[in-house]
Chains A and B, each alone.
Chain A
Amino acid sequence: MDEKEVTFAEALNEAFREEMYRNDSIFLMGECIPFTGYESTYALTGLYEEFGSARVRDVPICEKGFITMGVGAAMTGTRPVAFLSAGDWTLLACDSIVNQAGRWKYMVGGEINIPLLIFIRIGTGSGIGMHHGSTTEATFFHQPGLKIVFPSTPYDGKGLLKTALRDRDPILYYAHLKVFGIKGTVPSEDYLIPFGKADIKKTGNDVSIITYGYMVHESLKAAEKLENKGIDAEVVDLRTLIPLDEETILKSVKKNSRVIIVEEGNKRGGIGAELGMIIVENAFDYLDAPVQRVAGVDVPLPMSPFLEKHALPNESDIIEAVEGIFSL
């Protein structure tokens, strides 16, 4: 099988280009997405030149307006992709995403599909503060009628994005800025990755680290260092939060009997809270130590990089947490 090395951003760009050639009904809309210096930050380099202004649409600063228009367009024969340049903007469009995109299908008894993809660029950890730097997947994880994708590598990013662009439901696709430049290999030929299948990024037999998105990389770094300390950690990358691969999570936890859940978002009411309870409900008897969470602290994200780093989890927090459950 032919392979090539690309960055995460290049992999996503390929996915958009290939799918837009494959399906004429896909169109993109987002603030400044046609323009140099902006398009690249959404992984859209060159697409405006290739597909024109009807399919790569610039929009006014009307997040809830254009995302809700995406809902209407999606139910009547097109496949809109709406771009948000910060996780925080999802909250501006909260009604559009939760009440409209997530509930319209149910509201009409399943008569329609809403193939609306909302592509969210996440800048957590980049010093851009409380209104640009937040990650919001946990907010939407609570809501019915949506799917949530949060990839960590070029291979996963491309395969999941292509699946998303062929799916029939509203999807939140989170793309982390710190992952954009990460390189990896992708096959030259067409491939898809199904939703709801976690990927074990590193196998290990002592402790399971369950995570997703950029935190996969912090977890892998931590696992490497833990190996030097004689702890063999397994890193489970969820890849999609809805649907959630409970089977892989529970299998890993039952095997290792110790588990750490790592997420970048706020700890309170986060993804880890739900995962922890799933583990407790289904694998309690297998546990040799309490389920532990490593997560963002419950504050608005400070803009200062000096303070921001104290609000977000990193490699050493993960190592500390793992060592903690082994010292119990």
Chain B
Amino acid sequence: MFKKALSTNMKINDIIIEREILINMYTDMLRIRKFEQKVVELLLRGIPVAWVHEALGQEAVTAGSISALNENDYVLPHLRGWGYYLCKGVESKKIMAELLHKETGLAKGKSGTQFGCIDKRVLGKSGVIGAGIAVGTGVSLSCKLLNTNNVCLIFFGDGGSNTGYCHEAMVMAGAWKLPAIYLCENNQYMMATRFHDVTATNNIADRAIGYGFPGVIVDGNDVLDVYKSTLEAVNRAKEGLGPTLLEAKTYRWSAHFYGRKTDYRPKEEEEIWEKRDPIKLFKLKLQKMDICDDDGFNTIELQINEEMEDAAKYAIESPYPKPESIFDDVLTDYGGV
């Protein structure tokens, strides 16, 4: 059987993206989606699962941006989804186990949705919207002081962009030219509130000028645009030129978290954005440019299905933490020296 040779890379403007990165980005997007589908499936089976803040429709933002990092760069995730972990190489079974409150989870079953994975340099999700922006900025200060040439990629939403934390952190990051990349996932709703109903600015990226660094609007449903823009921001930060604010315009298909309604927004609006499915759009592009063929896509999907089955099985079969473990990890010790 004759098979056409596949292309080895893709050129966008001046950036050449290798096939391996392209395939990884596609795979990661699909992993994010299928991981969430598995979580919802377990939830509906009546298994106790922590809050499910789905990132359905926003997969390109996470997969595209994290692909532009190296393994020693830090990620400060925010509340929506688990792509931050999956794309940074955290094992899906450890994430799933934590979501199911199990002892084998990333935070030993204590954290539900807010865990980190320090080995992979994902630092944890603050439950206080906006706080992570300042924490991540501090991480970038640490990178600068220790001369590690790493960056911190800081995720937040349109909601977080309005907090005092965001302002204060960006004031200092701009003044000190910190290696921070601020990635605002503007999905247009903060819980049920429409961004434009409570904020006069059209673009969050426009605020960057006030902090003395560039603000860039990115198509959050185009993984390549996210990748390219993040890579530019990373390079800028590593050259010592300071932070960048990226505003990825996107949309969450789901409710704020699973079980909530979306009746505060028009159905037509939802339909428009669902047509711009970032995974489908990217698949079409990969097909068109001969980066991957049907066999390739099928293999990827089967592998992911298997990964998620295994993750669920591992999490379900893992034990719950012992009650006395609630006293662990509050402080390192109580005695000082």
Quick one: CB contact mask for B108-149 with A, threshold 8 Å, 1 for yes? 111100111110000110111001001111111111011000
Quick one: CB contact mask for B76-101 with A, threshold 8 Å, 1 for yes? 10000000000000000000000000
Quick one: CB contact mask for B178-203 with A, threshold 8 Å, 1 for yes? 00000000000000000000000000
Residue on A with the closest CB to B117?
A111
> Using a Cβ–Cβ cut-off of 8 Å, how many residues does chain B contribute to the interface with A?
51
Q: How far is the CB of A193 from chain B (nearest CB, A)?
A: 8
Known: A109-B108, A110-B108. A69 touches B141 (CB 8 A): yes
Which B residues touch A145, using CB under 8 A?
Answer: 330-331
Quick one: CB contact mask for B158-182 with A, threshold 8 Å, 1 for yes? 0000001101110110010000000
Which of these, A74, A96, A110, contacts B134 with CB under 8 Å?
A96
Which A residues touch B329, using CB under 8 A?
Answer: 105-106, 109-110
Which of these, B131, B169, B328, contacts A99 with CB under 8 Å?
B131
Docked-complex contact A109 and B331, CB < 8 angstroms: no
Docked-complex contact A62 and B168, CB < 8 angstroms: yes
Quick one: CB contact mask for B314-337 with A, threshold 8 Å, 1 for yes? 000000000000001111111111
Which B residues touch A95, using CB under 8 A?
Answer: 128, 131
Complex Cα gap A168–B109 (Å): 23
Quick one: CB contact mask for B253-285 with A, threshold 8 Å, 1 for yes? 000000000000000000000000000000000
Docked-complex contact A76 and B139, CB < 8 angstroms: yes
Which A residues touch B127, using CB under 8 A?
Answer: 99
Docked-complex contact B330 and A144, CB < 8 angstroms: yes
Q: How far is the CB of B87 from chain A (nearest CB, A)?
A: 18
Which B residues touch A78, using CB under 8 A?
Answer: 141-142, 145-146
Docked-complex contact B106 and A72, CB < 8 angstroms: no
Which of these, B111, B117, B172, B331, contacts A59 with CB under 8 Å?
B172
Residue on A with the closest CB to B168?
A65
Complex Cα gap A243–B331 (Å): 11
Complex Cα gap A65–B163 (Å): 11
Q: How far is the CB of A57 from chain B (nearest CB, A)?
A: 8
- For residue B74, CB closer than 8 A to chain A, the reply is yes
- For residue A75, CB closer than 8 A to chain B, the reply is yes
- For residue B107, CB closer than 8 A to chain A, the reply is yes
Complex Cα gap A196–B335 (Å): 6
Docked-complex contact A100 and B330, CB < 8 angstroms: no
Q: How far is the CB of B136 from chain A (nearest CB, A)?
A: 6
Which A residues touch B145, using CB under 8 A?
Answer: 25, 27, 54, 73, 78
Residue on A with the closest CB to B111?
A107
12 A-B pairs with CB atoms under 8 Å apart are A60-B172, A69-B141, A73-B145, A76-B138, A78-B145, A80-B138, A99-B126, A109-B111, A111-B107, A145-B330, A160-B336, A169-B332
